[in-house]
Amino acid sequence: MNRVICLLMLVLVSPFSFAQSSQSEIFAAPDSELERQVELFEFKTPKLQQTAIELAKSLRCPQCQNQNLVESNSPLAKDLRLIVFNKINSGEGEQQVIDFMTARYGEFVLYKPSFTWKNALLWGLPVLLLVAFLLVSFKSVGKTERE
């Protein structure tokens, strides 16, 4: 009997919780003007358009998990996509745009971060561990064959 009452209460209360959750948005509503600017952006030449799109695909959205600026629908990605498009359209080079983005958001926006001495251990440690594993494996196999 208690289960039936609990189930009935749950069924009666659930529509109110959905109504309240639909009113409070998790993300801010996108700016329609910004969205229109990004979607309808006009480049001077098709080559500039291709360059800007490829560059935006190679930059990671700082807000999203593993989405580039083209794939992401977040408001921040649209802002950054518009910045990339404007900079490429105004004649700035790819490296200048990448430098601007990394100065503003760090190397997190790059899918292929640069190799520096600061992150050399991060790049080199897996290789060193693999070499060490292979050496130990060959030595242990060699010992068992001799015995």
Q: What is the pLDDT of residue 7?
A: 59
Residues 105 and 125 in one domain: no
* CATH number where 101 lies: 1.10.8.640
Residue 110 predicted with pLDDT over 60: yes
Range of the domain at 146: 116-147
pTM of the model: 0.58
Q: Say how far apart CA 85 and CA 42 lie, in whole Å.
A: 9
pLDDT tens for 29-67 read 555 665 666 667 788 888 988 899 899 999 999 888 788
Could you tell me the pLDDT band of residue 118, with boundaries at 50, 70 and 90?
confident
Q: What is the pLDDT of residue 15?
A: 58
Q: Say how far apart CA 55 and CA 83 lie, in whole Å.
A: 12
Could you tell me the pLDDT band of residue 97, with boundaries at 50, 70 and 90?
very high
- 70: which DSSP letter? T
Residues 41 and 109 in one domain: yes
Residues 54 and 66 in one domain: yes
Q: Say how far apart CA 77 and CA 64 lie, in whole Å.
A: 9
Could you tell me the pLDDT band of residue 134, with boundaries at 50, 70 and 90?
very high
Q: Is residue 9 part of a domain?
A: no
Q: Is residue 96 part of a domain?
A: yes
Q: What is the pLDDT of residue 122?
A: 81
Q: Is residue 11 part of a domain?
A: no
Residues 140 and 127 in one domain: yes
| 3-class SS shares of the chain: helix, strand, coil, % to 5 | 70, 5, 30
